[in-house]
Amino acid sequence: MGKSSNNPLVGFDLGGTKMLAIVVDGSFKEIGRERKKTKSPDGTVDLERIMKTIRSALEQAGVGKIGGIGLGVPGVLDLDSGTVIDAPNLGWHDVALQKKLENEFNCPVRIINDVDAGVYGEYRMGAAKDARCTVGIFPGTGIGAGCVYKGELLRGKSGSCMEIGHIPIVPDGILCGCGRTGCLETVASRLAISSAAASAVFRGEAPHLTSLAGTDISNIKSGVLADAIAAGDKVIEKIVRKAAQYLGKATATVIDLIAPDLIVLGGGLVEAMPSLYKDEVEKTAKASVMPAFEKIFHIETAKLGDDATALGAAAWVDHEMES
């Protein structure tokens, strides 16, 4: 660890339905954690709820003074000022998160995109440890990605980058949530897969998924899709494999651009079906990159699971303090 190593660090994940705080010691060994629903009963996400979660994790760890707090946050961020410019899932606009938490806990605070934090966590202590250039790709409700090059996160002037989910992949495709058409998310996100799977149920082509979830897209989650495939729903397997192939096509584009030596696949879909995703993405990527790049990369599945973002955020604030 860097200059923050004299005291424990807190890593915080604000990117899911449940917020997670993990306290780690100087060796990044977990010494405390707390998880709470991200939104309060009235549907809001307030700073006091975040602070209480951090305090509870610190109480479990039995520590008071901390060396720093890193937070993985979804949305559009100003990384230099530590401001959340726009986070629709949280209902936040222009929230000076870094400043507010620094005043509360009297320690350095850094915010980072939640996917970037997950990729950085895999680089520091997971599947991408010590890679020269690694790209992490996390298909879920959307599709996020991040890149670590020689120990530094690839970023824009003031914000994050690597919006792989919005690479145009299908000419004249369907409308994406970003306002464009044919984006990768429209054909390879869990929402896109669940929608296609629900249509298969409606047509009577997926008997096992019918009994597991019916046509309600909100019930067709990653684990349910995996269970339906394991039970023999061939059409669902075909839908998921096709989505993974689209992901492989987009991955090939990234490889042609920056030639990473390692691609890490993570997120709920990959955790539920690791072999399927690894095989399809790797096969499609190798068939799609320029021939000179076929052998320069390999693909691994993420190792840190749900802890990746929190651990990566803790590692990032440590890195920032060292820098």
Q: Could you report the per-residue pLDDT of 64-113, keeping only the tens digit for each?
A: 889 999 999 998 899 999 999 998 888 899 999 999 999 999 999 999 99
Q: What pTM value is reported for the model?
A: 0.93
Q: 147: helix, coil or strand?
A: strand
Q: Could you report the per-residue pLDDT of 1-45, keeping only the tens digit for each?
A: 444 457 899 999 998 889 999 999 989 999 999 999 998 888 888
Same structural domain, 170 and 286: yes
For 93-135, the DSSP string reads EEE-HHHHHHHHHSS-EEEEEHHHHHHHHHHHHSTTTT-SEEE
Same structural domain, 17 and 109: yes
Same structural domain, 152 and 93: no
pLDDT at 303 over 90: yes
Cβ atoms within 10 A of the Cβ of 23, count? 26
Same structural domain, 317 and 169: no
Mean pLDDT of the chain: 94
Full residue range of the structural domain in which residue 115 is found: 3-123+306-322
Same structural domain, 278 and 134: yes
Same structural domain, 178 and 218: yes
Same structural domain, 78 and 183: no
Same structural domain, 313 and 294: no
Give the residue carrying structure tokens 């090939």.
252
pLDDT of residue 43: 80
The Cα 205–Cα 139 span in angstroms is 25
The Cα 91–Cα 323 span in angstroms is 32
pLDDT of residue 323: 74
Q: Is the distance from CB of 74 to CB of 45 less than 8 angstroms?
A: no
Q: Is the distance from CB of 300 to CB of 131 less than 8 angstroms?
A: no
> How many domains does the chain contain in total?
2
Same structural domain, 206 and 240: yes
Q: Could you report the per-residue pLDDT of 117-151, keeping only the tens digit for each?
A: 999 999 999 999 989 999 999 999 889 999 999 99
The Cα 130–Cα 319 span in angstroms is 14
pLDDT at 308 over 90: yes
Question: Which phi and psi (to 5°) does residue 223 adopt?
Answer: -65, -35
Task: Read off the CATH number of the domain in which 242 is found.
Answer: 3.30.420.40
pLDDT of residue 290: 97
Same structural domain, 117 and 156: no
pLDDT of residue 294: 95
Reduced to 3 DSSP states, what percent helix, strand and coil does the chain have, rounded to the nearest 5?
45, 25, 35
Same structural domain, 144 and 111: no
pLDDT at 168 over 80: yes
Same structural domain, 41 and 184: no
Q: In this predicted model, which residue has the larger pLDDT, 289 or 177? A: 289
pLDDT of residue 4: 46
Q: In this predicted model, which residue has the larger pLDDT, 6 or 209? A: 209
